[in-house]
Amino acid sequence: MQLYSKKRRWKFFLILGAVGISIFSMIYTSRLSSELKEEEQKRMKIWSAAYNALINDSDGESNLYISLILEIIESNSTIPSILVDDKDSILWHRNIQLPAKNQEIFLQKELGDMKDDSEPIVVYLGDGITQYFYYHDSVLISQLQWFPVIQLLIVFVFILVAYAAFSTARRWEQDNVWVGMARETAHQLGTPTSSLLGWMDILDMKEIEPDLVKEMRFDVRRLQTITARFSKIGSKPELLYENITETVEQMIYYLQNRSSKLVKFSLQSNVGDTIVRMSRPLFEWVIENICKNAIDAMEGEGSIDIYIYQQKNIVGIDISDTGKGMTRNMQKSVFKPGYSTKPKGWGLGLTLTKRIVEQYHGGKIHIASSTPGKGTTFRILIPE
């Protein structure tokens, strides 16, 4: 639980940092865009003043003055603009790319858009004659306004790709660690388990409490089964045809004899002698993991009900307990590596369970229902 909480905190801080950077980028770009708009507005006012001076030059000013005015007018190479009279007739336009056809209709539409965007600059020509300059933001400002959105999309895609690559590499590394630990455990258990079987034979010869030796032999064989389970992790297990009801029944018998008498097991099956392809040692591990988690959730007192049923070509196993139950957040996280509600839990049991069911047996496992204070039902679906 602690390890999983740390991962969630890191993700939260990363998301928070990304949001902070995004907000800063958008605010900064918006401010820069506003400043450029003000500058363009000033340029348009200067440009309209130059136009006014050129139109009203009836006294014949010097060539230098006229050249300066023309240079100011010609300097507008980015701001789309339209000049109209007081009846909205278009007199002149600049920096507008016209289509091959319907140019007048296109210009009227552009004029309408400009009217919606900003107030016009009024040019007084004398004798009651008034003209109006309308204009759009330049292409530079339009691009600048879209820049933070495009930037955020690129950053978002990059983060997604980097996170996916990092998660894949981390998962591969975790898998290698688990596989190495599992095989090393199997190797370490192999020798003492074989030795214990030899001691069992000696106890048989000495005729020491046959029933006691029988149970000890059963537990030693159980150790062999556990060793076999660990040795199969990381490699593709051999799937054999097994009786599903018998497999679950024997696992319950084993758990019942080694659990508190206050824990009641019940098994119902309507599949008869249905045969399913499975790795028996690994599938028994699945049942054992879920049942042991249920016993922990019930704190050693309650009931575990197992129901085996069939739907078309799928065999379903529902395992219900009367334990503490889980909240929705817990249900979303229960199969993730490192998540555990136990103070000293590793958070690997249900992760391995999911891997055995889905990767090795081609099935599905999920929480069918869970209510805090009432209990939980795990559902396993295995193809025949």
Going along the chain from its start, the domains and CATH numbers come out as 2-137 (no CATH), 236-383 (3.30.565.10)
Which pLDDT score, from 0 to 100, does residue 3 have? 46
For the stretch 114-161, pLDDT in tens is: 788 777 777 776 677 787 878 777 666 666 667 777 777 777 787 778
Gap between the Cα atoms of 233 and 20, Å rounded: 43
- Residue 234 — pLDDT band, cuts 50, 70, 90? low
The pLDDT of residue 97 is 78
Give the residues across from 306 on adjacent strands: 267, 319
| pLDDT tens figures, 149-190 | 777 777 778 777 877 777 777 767 666 666 666 666 666 666
User: To the nearest 5 percent, what fractions of the chain are helix, strand and coil?
Assistant: 60, 20, 25
Which range, 49-63, 299-313, 343-357, has the best average confidence (pLDDT)? Answer: 299-313
pLDDT tens digit sequence for 46-103: 666 666 665 665 555 544 444 544 455 556 666 777 878 888 888 777 777 788 888 8
Report residue 265 CA to chain centroid gap: 38
What is the percent of the chain with per-residue pLDDT over 70, rounded to a whole number? 71
Q: What are phi and psi of 16, to 5 degrees?
A: -60, -45
Q: What is the DSSP code string of 32-44?
A: HHHHHHHHHHHHH
Rg (CA), the chain: 39
